[in-house]
């Protein structure tokens, strides 16, 4: 009775004391940790200034003027009035740090409030606030600060006020810009539909999304603020003697640079140190606060997917067959993602062969590995975390997983071309579409600028874009989704590819447009003899285009064969159930029959058949050992021990 | 007399186009141009059309996110634009929406629990343990594993994210659910689950659906009545059986003819 209760408490308290994920990520970032440690050390020493055995910072001993560093009793020497530099430095750092942090917080608070209000309210509020900010920005930055101090009178507090005011536009503009893109997101509309008040929406929904920007803004401006206050003090407008702050010390030491360089150099170094520490920490904070970086880390992906050595990848593969000479043959392809301690076997041993001029489909649900399979072919899986750990990718017998990068880049977009799902994001929004097509032509066909453009126009014509010469000068945003996808196809055709890999190319399109694009792909394939590796979740699309189909589930092919055969007589229960899920037009009586459960996550695939937990025909043998993809008819394969049952 | 929950009469929404320098302002864009429709309680009205036909604008007017520029729009006999101005929460308890883009409709900075708790607290007054229990119930309703509640939206596939969106809409316990392309981002097996789920919920809770989709097969599977829209206007409206068996307008015929079919003849 008490044991479960006790273990429950343990889990609860363990969760409470576990580090928040953002902090853990921050600690993993070495430069940020270094910055944090440095800043903490400086801040600690500054905070401890009152209790440290220091000489009074303002006590002057004219007899001990300008003593050098390491004088007994004056570790860092003395200044022109014989005051202990170490003491003044610590007290000065304390003051400068406090002023910098306070000023940064205040101006970010004011600026962010203005920015959020402007972005959320829009219209007149936005116009009024932003014109006010513009007015403030119309004055040169330091001049404005000087004018404010001149009006208020010199003094550290007034200098701080001036610096707060001149920094408000920086935050207001930045936050407004970041918030504007968030305001239009659907989740903001959803929040209104949840009955949340405007205040809750601004602070609960909008603010967290712009917070990283504010945090990095604050952390970088703390540095500036220290510098600016130092600047004003340097000019004699900030801290007034005998009060010590870093800028004032620098200013006082300036005249003695020849005689006693340490008087100015030491506070200068501390300012430098503080600025560096604060900026390193700020960058780290930004990265840590963005949950999107949790999975992939901050590393940039490489030019191609990492692959294990050929020997390792080929271990356990059967000897190469004649099909290795095909335009594309995947043999036992395995691609994994390592995220933290989990290993996702996204592709777990896939064999797919594409013959010359053949249209091969891969059908599967999200997470089935179909896209990773396609991306692995050209090494387009992001690395890290992706890695090809097994199998071969044979292009006429050449293993693309181990050819030199130059060779792979020649094949990419040349002999093997890609068409991606979202034409909106795969085109560069700043370059006219004609030039983008021409660029691919130049890269692969080695034509000159003019010849490439002419070829680009003829390619646009080939994909049935009306008035191709005019359209070539237009930007992606000026075109419809269907037109953009045609441009994507035109780019794929640039070097008369042997194979086009198309990953859900029509999923984002309207039905009537989809029908046209599918017809176009089909015509192009027949005219040009290009083979097609077509990935889709939609059996209807596959059926209207492909000769053969591979059904994927849990990272493996569970069934393959000619499309018509597979549709007429599916041999794997998953294929059968998947087909029953598709609402068929014109058969109102046959309502959809969903598959219970969820597709498995590829980091925890069950032993044996991955579909067994959802299958109504599963036997104990289905989960006891690996199940091979075996022939079940002419050109038909299924990974099911009951494929022959009726 | 049938029980009409939602009614639109000659509904218009015009968007002003930006003025061009030294030229008269161009005429407004009529995204929704004189649409009349009526939805009976407990039934599903499917709205079919391609992108840019005004179906999403219509959806946003029904939930009070955009105000119409002409015509009448009522729920239970009360004007939706007026409710949206005067008592938004009352409107939100009557009608909810599931958005088109599953990832864009969830705040990336919130956990699923936060996302589902917000409407429970604001619209249903649930807090603490009651809200926790309801979140678990909602997660179960849309077949998401309960341990997902403490994850962030980017950790989900599009299909799972959309189910969170559906759970959020259901949290308000509305009478009318506006579903704007709710399953177009889902996997087929999941799509079928969601369609079945929507059917179950309708039967159990007497929900009324405004189901907007470009996918005719999906609309056929779920809708009782269908409206076909093109360029802001209704071109054909009929019971689902009739419209799919015997399309009369040319545009309806074109749409039906464009659907790729998996069925073997």
pLDDT score recorded for residue A291: 54
What is the rounded distance in angstroms from the CA atom of residue A446 to the CA atom of residue A468?
22
What is the rounded distance in angstroms from the CA atom of residue A94 to the CA atom of residue A107?
20
| H or E segment to which residue A107 belongs | helix A85-121
Nearest CB partner across the interface for B187, out of A366, A584, A588: A366
A543 and B260 within 8 Å at the Cβ level: the answer is yes
pLDDT score recorded for residue B12: 94
Cβ A542 vs Cβ A361: under 8 Å = yes
B258 and A512 within 8 Å at the Cβ level: the answer is yes
What is the rounded distance in angstroms from the CA atom of residue B58 to the CA atom of residue B11?
9
User: What number is the average pLDDT over the span B28-50?
Assistant: 91
Interface A–B counts its CB contacts (< 8 A) at 189
pLDDT score recorded for residue A17: 45
Percent over 90 (pLDDT), chain B: 51
| Residues ≥6 apart with Cβ < 8 Å to A311 | none
Residue A6 has pLDDT above 50, yes or no: no
Q: Is A620 helix (H, G, I), strand (E, B) or coil?
A: helix
Distance separating the N- and C-terminal Cα atoms of chain B: 43
B119 and A543 within 8 Å at the Cβ level: the answer is no
Distance separating the N- and C-terminal Cα atoms of chain A: 51
ipTM: 0.88
Cβ B252 vs Cβ A532: under 8 Å = no
Total Cβ atoms within 10 A of residue B20: 9
pLDDT score recorded for residue A471: 87
A604 touches chain B (CB under 8 A): no
B214 and A510 within 8 Å at the Cβ level: the answer is yes
Query: What is the domain range of residue A112?
Result: 21-55+73-293
What is the rounded distance in angstroms from the CA atom of residue B30 to the CA atom of residue A241?
70
What is the rounded distance in angstroms from the CA atom of residue A393 to the CA atom of residue A279?
45
What is the rounded distance in angstroms from the CA atom of residue A338 to the CA atom of residue A295?
10
Sheet with A416-419: strands ordered across: A416-419, A499-503, A531-536, A359-363, A548-553, A556-562, A636-638, A630-633
User: What number is the average pLDDT over the span A352-376?
Assistant: 89
How many residues does the structure list for chain A? 646
Alpha-helical runs (H) found in A446-480: 449-462, 468-471
Residue numbers in A near B190 (CB within 8 A): 365, 594, 598
> Chain A closest CA to B18's CA: distance in Å?
14
| Residues ≥6 apart with Cβ < 8 Å to A269 | none
Among B residues 33-92, those touching chain A with beta carbons less than 8 Å apart: 50-51, 60, 63, 65, 88-89, 92
Nearest CB partner across the interface for B262, out of A193, A292, A582: A582
Residue A14 has pLDDT above 70, yes or no: no
The two tokens of residue A245 are 């702050």
What is the rounded distance in angstroms from the CA atom of residue A193 to the CA atom of residue A135?
37
pLDDT one-digit tens code per residue, A295-339: 444 556 778 888 888 788 888 777 766 556 788 989 889 998 887
| Residues ≥6 apart with Cβ < 8 Å to A458 | A468
pLDDT score recorded for residue A12: 37
| Residues ≥6 apart with Cβ < 8 Å to A68 | A77, A260, A262
> Chain A closest CA to B177's CA: distance in Å?
12
Domain membership of residue A106 (yes or no) is yes
Beta bridge partners, A362, equal: A535, A550
Burial label for B154, CB within 10 Å (0-12, 13-18, 19+), is middle
- Best-predicted range by mean pLDDT (A113-122, A605-614, B16-25): A113-122
User: What number is the average pLDDT over the span A478-485?
Assistant: 82
Tokens 């403030």, residue?
A: A136
Residue numbers in A near B261 (CB within 8 A): 540, 543-544, 584-585
> Chain B closest CA to A616's CA: distance in Å?
15
Cβ A156 vs Cβ A238: under 8 Å = yes
Task: Label each residue of A482-549 as H, E or C.
Answer: HHHHHHHHHHHCCCCCCEEEEECCCCCCCHHHHHHHHHHHHHHHHHHCCEEEEEECCHHHHHHHCCEE
A30-34, A314-318, B92-96, range with the lowest pLDDT = A314-318
| Residues ≥6 apart with Cβ < 8 Å to A238 | A149, A154, A155, A156, A159, A229, A230, A232, A245, A247, A248
A366 and B157 within 8 Å at the Cβ level: the answer is yes
Among B residues 135-154, those touching chain A with beta carbons less than 8 Å apart: 143, 145, 152, 154
Total Cβ atoms within 10 A of residue A644: 11
Confidence class of residue B169 from pLDDT cuts 50, 70 and 90? very high
Phi, psi of A75 (to 5 degrees): -55, -40
Residue numbers in B near A214 (CB within 8 A): none
Query: What is the domain range of residue B201?
Result: 4-105+176-258
The two tokens of residue A8 are 């429950």
| Residues ≥6 apart with Cβ < 8 Å to A365 | A537, A553, A578, A599, B187, B188, B189, B190
User: What number is the average pLDDT over the span B199-220?
Assistant: 88
How many residues does the structure list for chain B? 265
pLDDT score recorded for residue A448: 84
Residue numbers in B near A209 (CB within 8 A): 107-109
Confidence class of residue A68 from pLDDT cuts 50, 70 and 90? confident
- Beta strand segments in A224-327, E: 306-307
What is the rounded distance in angstroms from the CA atom of residue B131 to the CA atom of residue A617?
39
User: What number is the average pLDDT over the span A43-71?
Assistant: 86
Nearest CB partner across the interface for B88, out of A195, A205, A365: A195
- Computed over every residue of chain A, the mean pLDDT equals 84
Burial label for A151, CB within 10 Å (0-12, 13-18, 19+), is exposed
The two tokens of residue A23 are 């902090």
Percent over 90 (pLDDT), chain A: 20
Residue B218 has pLDDT above 90, yes or no: no
The domain tally of chain A equals 1
> Concatenated DSSP letters for A318-353?
PPP-GGGGSSEEEEEEEEEEEETTEEEEEEEEEEEE
The domain tally of chain B equals 1
- Beta strand segments in A221-284, E: none
B261 and A584 within 8 Å at the Cβ level: the answer is yes
Domain membership of residue B264 (yes or no) is no
pTM: 0.77
Q: Give how far the C-alpha of residue A95 lies from the chain's centroid of Cα atoms, to the nearest Å.
A: 39
What is the rounded distance in angstroms from the CA atom of residue A484 to the CA atom of residue A214?
36
Domain membership of residue B206 (yes or no) is yes
B263 touches chain A (CB under 8 A): yes
Among B residues 169-228, those touching chain A with beta carbons less than 8 Å apart: 169, 171-172, 187-193, 195-196, 199, 214-218, 220-221
Domain membership of residue B24 (yes or no) is yes
B104 and A185 within 8 Å at the Cβ level: the answer is yes
User: What number is the average pLDDT over the span B8-35?
Assistant: 84
Nearest CB partner across the interface for B188, out of A510, A581, A591: A581
B99 and A189 within 8 Å at the Cβ level: the answer is yes
Domain membership of residue A382 (yes or no) is no
B189 and A595 within 8 Å at the Cβ level: the answer is yes
Domain membership of residue B112 (yes or no) is no
Domain membership of residue A213 (yes or no) is yes
Residue A559 has pLDDT above 90, yes or no: yes
Residue A463 has pLDDT above 90, yes or no: no
Residue B134 has pLDDT above 90, yes or no: yes
User: What number is the average pLDDT over the span A375-382?
Assistant: 87
Domain membership of residue B225 (yes or no) is yes
Residue B9 has pLDDT above 80, yes or no: yes
User: What number is the average pLDDT over the span A586-608?
Assistant: 76
> Chain A closest CA to B209's CA: distance in Å?
16
The two tokens of residue B90 are 């009352």
Phi, psi of A451 (to 5 degrees): -60, -40
What is the rounded distance in angstroms from the CA atom of residue A318 to the CA atom of residue B16?
67
A563: left (phi over 0), alpha (psi -120 to 50) or beta: alpha
Total Cβ atoms within 10 A of residue A574: 29
Peptide bond into A242 cis (omega under 30): yes
Residue A9 has pLDDT above 70, yes or no: no
A588 and B241 within 8 Å at the Cβ level: the answer is yes
Nearest CA in chain B to A568: B264
B244 and A585 within 8 Å at the Cβ level: the answer is yes
Confidence class of residue B262 from pLDDT cuts 50, 70 and 90? low
Domain membership of residue B98 (yes or no) is yes
B25: left (phi over 0), alpha (psi -120 to 50) or beta: beta
Q: Is A10 helix (H, G, I), strand (E, B) or coil?
A: helix
Phi, psi of A533 (to 5 degrees): -110, 105
Domain membership of residue A622 (yes or no) is no
Question: Residue B20: which CATH number?
Answer: 3.40.50.300
Question: Residue A251: which CATH number?
Answer: 1.10.3720.10
- Computed over every residue of chain B, the mean pLDDT equals 88
Domain membership of residue B117 (yes or no) is no
Residue numbers in B near A515 (CB within 8 A): 257-260
pLDDT score recorded for residue B25: 74
Domain membership of residue B148 (yes or no) is no
């Amino acid at each position: 009775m008490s044991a479960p209760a006790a273990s429950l408490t343990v889990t609860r308290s363990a969760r409470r004391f576990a580090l928040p994920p953002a902090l853990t990520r921050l600690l993993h970032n070495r430069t940020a940790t270094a910055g944090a440690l440095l800043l903490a050390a400086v801040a600690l020493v500054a905070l401890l200034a009152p209790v440290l055995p220091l000489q009074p910072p303002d006590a002057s001993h004219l007899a001990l003027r300008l003593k050098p560093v390491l004088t007994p009793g004056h570790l860092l020497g003395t200044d022109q009035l014989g005051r202990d530099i170490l003491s003044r430095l610590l007290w000065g750092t304390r003051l400068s740090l406090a002023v910098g942090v306070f000023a940064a917080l205040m101006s970010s608070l004011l600026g962010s409030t203005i920015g959020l209000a402007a972005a959320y309210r829009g219209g007149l509020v936005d116009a009024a606030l932003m014109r006010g900010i513009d007015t403030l920005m119309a004055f040169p930055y330091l001049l404005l600060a000087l004018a404010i101090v001149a009006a208020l009178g010199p003094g550290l507090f007034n200098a701080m006020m001036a610096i707060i005011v001149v920094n408000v536009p920086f935050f207001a503009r930045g936050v407004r810009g970041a918030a504007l893109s968030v305001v239009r997101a659907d989740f903001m509309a959803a929040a209104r539909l949840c009955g949340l008040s405007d205040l809750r929406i601004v602070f609960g929904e909008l603010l967290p999304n712009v917070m990283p920007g504010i945090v990095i803004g604050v952390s970088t401006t703390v540095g500036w603020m220290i510098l600016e206050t130092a600047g004003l003090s340097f000019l004699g407008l900030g801290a007034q003697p005998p009060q010590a702050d870093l800028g004032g010390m620098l200013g006082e030491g300036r005249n003695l640079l020849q005689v006693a360089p340490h008087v100015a150099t030491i506070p200068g170094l501390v300012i430098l140190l503080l600025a560096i520490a604060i900026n390193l920490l700020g960058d780290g904070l930004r990265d840590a606060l963005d949950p999107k970086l949790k999975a992939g880390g901050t590393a940039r992906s490489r030019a191609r997917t990492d692959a294990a050595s050929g020997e390792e990848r080929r271990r356990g593969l059967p000897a190469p067959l004649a099909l290795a000479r095909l335009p594309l043959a995947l043999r036992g392809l395995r691609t994994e993602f390592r995220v933290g301690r989990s290993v996702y076997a996204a592709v777990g041993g896939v064999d797919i062969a594409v013959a010359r001029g053949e249209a091969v489909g891969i059908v599967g649900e999200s997470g089935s590995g179909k896209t990773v399979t396609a991306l692995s072919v050209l090494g387009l899986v992001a690395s890290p975390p992706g890695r090809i750990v097994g199998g071969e990718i044979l292009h006429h017998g050449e293993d693309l997983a181990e050819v030199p990068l130059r060779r792979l880049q020649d094949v990419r977009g040349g002999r093997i071309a890609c068409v991606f799902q979202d034409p909106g994001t795969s085109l560069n929004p700043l370059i006219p579409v004609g030039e983008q097509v021409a660029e691919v032509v130049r890269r692969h066909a080695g034509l000159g600028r003019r010849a490439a453009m002419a070829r680009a126009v003829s390619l646009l014509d080939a994909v049935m874009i009306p008035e191709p010469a005019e359209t070539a000068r237009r930007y992606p945003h000026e075109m419809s989704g269907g037109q953009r996808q045609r441009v994507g196809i035109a780019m794929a055709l640039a070097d008369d590819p042997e194979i086009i890999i198309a990953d859900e190319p029509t999923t984002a399109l309207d039905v009537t447009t989809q029908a046209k694009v599918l017809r176009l792909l089909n015509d192009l394939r027949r005219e040009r003899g290009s083979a097609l590796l077509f990935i889709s979740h939609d059996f209807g699309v596959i059926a209207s285009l492909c000769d053969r189909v591979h059904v994927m589930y849990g990272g493996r092919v569970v069934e393959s064969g000619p499309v018509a055969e597979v549709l007429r007589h599916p041999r794997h229960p998953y294929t059968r159930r998947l087909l029953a899920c598709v609402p068929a037009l014109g058969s109102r009586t046959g309502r959809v029959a969903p598959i219970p459960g969820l597709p498995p996550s590829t980091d925890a695939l069950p032993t044996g058949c991955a579909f067994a937990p959802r299958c109504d025909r599963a036997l104990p043998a289905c989960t006891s050992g690996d199940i091979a993809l075996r022939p079940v008819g002419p050109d038909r394969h299924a990974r099911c021990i009951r494929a022959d049952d009726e | 007399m049938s029980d009409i929950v939602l009614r639109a009469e000659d509904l218009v929404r015009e968007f002003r186009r930006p003025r061009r320098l030294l030229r008269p302002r161009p005429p407004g864009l009529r995204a929704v141009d004189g649409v009349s429709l009526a939805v009976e309680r407990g039934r599903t009205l499917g709205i079919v059309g391609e992108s840019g036909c005004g179906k999403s604008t219509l959806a946003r007017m029904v939930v009070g996110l955009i105000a119409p520029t002409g015509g009448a729009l009522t729920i239970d006999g009360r004007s939706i634009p007026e409710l949206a101005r005067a008592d938004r929460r009352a409107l939100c308890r009557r009608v909810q929406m599931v958005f088109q883009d599953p990832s864009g409709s969830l705040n990336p900075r919130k956990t699923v629990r936060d996302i589902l708790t917000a409407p429970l607290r604001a619209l249903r007054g649930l807090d603490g343990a009651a809200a926790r229990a309801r979140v678990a119930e909602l997660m179960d309703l849309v077949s998401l594993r309960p341990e997902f509640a403490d994850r962030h939206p980017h950790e989900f596939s599009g299909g799972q994210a959309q189910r969170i969106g559906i759970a959020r809409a259901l949290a308000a316990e509305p009478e009318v659910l506006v579903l704007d392309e709710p399953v177009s981002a889902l996997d087929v097996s999941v799509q079928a689950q969601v369609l079945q789920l929507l059917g179950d919920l309708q039967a159990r809770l007497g929900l009324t659906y405004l189901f907007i989709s470009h996918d005719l097969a999906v609309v056929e599977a779920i809708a009782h009545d269908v409206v076909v829209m093109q360029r802001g206007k209704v071109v054909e409206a009929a019971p689902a059986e009739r419209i799919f068996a015997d399309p009369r307008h040319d545009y309806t015929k074109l749409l039906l003819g464009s659907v790729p079919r998996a069925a073997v003849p």
